[in-house]
Amino acid sequence: ANERFAELCPNLRIDGLKRFGTSFGPMIRDEVRRESRTIERMSASEKQAYLLALYTARSPIVDSLVLIDAPEIGFGDVGAVSLVRALLRWTSRTQLLVATASDAVCQMPEAAHVVELRG
């Protein structure tokens, strides 16, 4: 999971679990700031990357549907493309739906179908 998480968030590492009362919570190490932080202090995109890395590392996603909403908001265009490509590698026979306004994502050669919605 740490390798996959580092693929999406190069400056962050999974730093284990910390006890909070009667439960445990994940800790994330920021290699640039040299500090550990709780999941509550992560951005929405970092949380998304963390959950996808953990979920796909434990067992592959097979014969499923995964919906990612606006990855360019947190990851930027380059990061959104990286996220989509990573999910394509980490899944098997899975339909990946990406709701995005990113031209970079829409123009990926891996994109099978692009449906444009105008509002």
3 has pLDDT over 90: yes
pLDDT digits (tens, 9 = 90+) for 51-103: 889 888 887 788 889 898 899 998 999 999 999 999 999 988 888 999 999 99
Mean model confidence pLDDT for the chain: 89
pTM (2 d.p.): 0.81
Other Cβ atoms within 10 Å of 102 Cβ, number: 21
CB count within 10 Å of CB 60 equals 13
What is the per-residue pLDDT for 34? Answer: 93
Positive or negative CA dihedral for 39, 26, 84, 61?
A: negative
